[in-house]
Chains A and B, each alone.
Chain A
């Protein structure tokens, strides 16, 4: 079992919504929770979904600014081949309407099924 952390700062002057694309590859199942970690120390759950999404609306930029969006994904490795070079892939892109993106991406090989990958991607909106 592996837990991965990554963080980015998205500086935006755009108005409207903040979007994200998320892709779990190699046919692996994944579930994702989006939390808003506010600068007062509290956490609010914004959304959750299973599988891959495209142009998913995280929320309004005004409400998200000066806070951290925590994108927490769990991938269950269901592949049982010992010979796979890579069998885990996760790509997350967060962007505004003006197409300012921040992103994280990783691939892994877990050598047989049964393990889980936990990914925490923190995006600070400024």
Chain B
């Protein structure tokens, strides 16, 4: 196994135009360090089928799901031959309807399974250039730990929601009060209430015949209900007009920003996914055989992040098991087919950020075969050290290599890179440019 270490000096001069304050280039390189190879896929069924149905439906309810099955099966008269679905059953049931915000956005990291469970499945007829070959896939993906919501950020978001809520009330109330018909109906409603109150007092004091009082109260109640219904209809019309005319209320950037900040969860996150796919020649049960199967798990997150600073320490561990019915491989000497290959991938990633200026990141994946002596174990590493010495200006050093999914020849060459990234841009408010 050869290792090549070219050193490249790269100086980049770039100009940035900003429309708003941001994190600028701090995370420019670190974003490339991801263990995507091992991360649990959203729909494992289609990944393991190595093909996808022409249409994958995502029904939002059980009746909608039945409708898609009916449609794919020609009203249940034939077996679907090109159909796939991806569903999250929790959101179909009563549990979701009764799920509260405080439970869903908990400041404690709680264990979940069903709430985040996604199921994917599919069938395709005619794969691997064989018109009679049917392939089935079934998979799941769930998040066992979603991380915890930061208390201070949740509080800041709720404060913003309160501010919005109060402002809207003030504005809509003022708008309704500008309408003479609304004021007239409200005055009429209050007058009827006062009349009812007086009648009730007289009736309770025995100053009026109870039968007559009951008749008059019924009449007042009828008129009152009518007035309330008119007020409701008028309020709906006026509110619709208000909502259309005051577009600034439709999108509240500050509220969205505070929500997104809160939604960036802290602590451990744990994803789990798995699936299996089958082949069946002419769709016969006796020809059914496993084509691929796999299991993914990744756990980690921002583990240390003091509220008072922009420093944090993140760590991730990842594991993947894959079974292949057969794999074509190619190395320097030969090409061939490995049957019943099972591989195990183990990965780790750490990232340390100090004061939003200095970042150290490292990730590594080790892949080994549980079966198949021809398969040479391999690895992938990526490392980065980066320091931002001024706005838009940073220096970094990185190293890395790659692995080839279908190679048995071990890891690829290791490459080191050193770079300086200098930006000359300033902040320009595009709104004030008044472009014509």
Nearest chain B residue, comparing its CB with the CB of A66 = B197
Q: Is B190 a contact partner of A29 (Cβ separation < 8 A)?
A: no
- The interface centre, meaning the residue of A1, A33, A39, A68 with most chain B CB atoms within 10 A of its CB, is A1
Chain A residues near B12: list those with CB within 8 A.
none
List A contacts of B157 (CB < 8 A): 29
> Which of these binds chain A: B224-232, B342-350, B363-371?
B224-232
Q: Which residues of B contact A28 (CB under 8 A)?
A: 101
* Size of B's binding interface in residues, CB under 8 A: 55
- Closest Cβ–Cβ distance, residue B323 to chain A (whole Å): 32
Q: Which residues of B contact A115 (CB under 8 A)?
A: 250
Instruction: Provide the residues of chain A in CB contact with B194, threshold 8 Å.
Output: 39, 66
Q: Do A66 and B193 have beta carbons less than 8 Å apart?
A: yes
Cβ A51 vs Cβ B101 within 8 A = yes
A50: chain B residues within 8 A (beta carbon):
158, 161-162
The interface on chain A, measured as residues whose beta carbon lies within 8 A of the other chain's beta carbons, has a size of 46
Q: Are B190 and A39 in contact (CB under 8 A)?
A: yes
- Chain B residues with Cβ below 8 Å from A25 are 96-100
Which parts of A89-103 form the interface with B (CB within 8 Å)?
89
Instruction: Identify whether the interface residues of B are mostly helix, strand, loop, or mixed.
Output: helix
Known: A27-B99, A51-B100, A74-B168. A39 touches B162 (CB 8 A): no
Known: A41-B186, A114-B256. A85 touches B64 (CB 8 A): yes
* A17 is an interface residue with CB less than 8 A from chain B: no
Q: How far is the CA of A3 from the CA of B245 in the complex (A)?
A: 14
Distance to closest chain A CB from B35 (angstroms): 25
Spot the interface stretch: B234-242, B284-292, B385-393: B234-242
Known: A76-B161, A120-B235. Contact between A1 and B249, CB under 8 A? yes
Q: Which of B130-167 contact A (CB under 8 A)?
A: 157-158, 161-162, 164-166
Classify the secondary structure of A's interface with B. strand
Question: Do A74 and B224 touch across chains, with their CB atoms under 8 A apart?
Answer: no
**Chain B residues near A89 (CB-CB < 8 A):** 97
B197 touches A6 (CB 8 A): no
Say if the beta carbon of B187 comes within 8 Å of chain A: yes
Q: Assess whether B224 is in contact with A9, with CB atoms less than 8 Å apart.
A: yes
Contact of B187 among A41, A66, A78, A126 (CB under 8 A): A41
Contact across chains for A27 and B239 when beta carbons are under 8 A apart: no
The complex places the Cα of A52 from the Cα of B104 at a distance, in Å, of 13
Q: Is the CB of A9 within 8 A of B225?
A: yes
Question: For chain B residues 232-274, which have a beta carbon within 8 Å of chain A?
Answer: 232, 235-236, 239-240, 242-243, 249-252, 255-256, 259, 263
- Contacts A28-B101, A114-B251; is A85 near B190 (CB within 8 Å)? no
Contact status of A24 and B228, CB under 8 A, knowing A3-B239, A3-B243, A41-B190 = no
Task: With A3-B240, A74-B165 given, name 5 new contacts (CB 8 A).
Answer: A27-B96, A39-B197, A66-B200, A84-B60, A86-B60
- Partner-B contacts on A (CB < 8 A): 1-7, 9, 23-31, 33, 39-41, 50-52, 65-68, 72, 74, 76, 78, 83-86, 89, 107, 114-116, 118, 120, 122, 124, 126
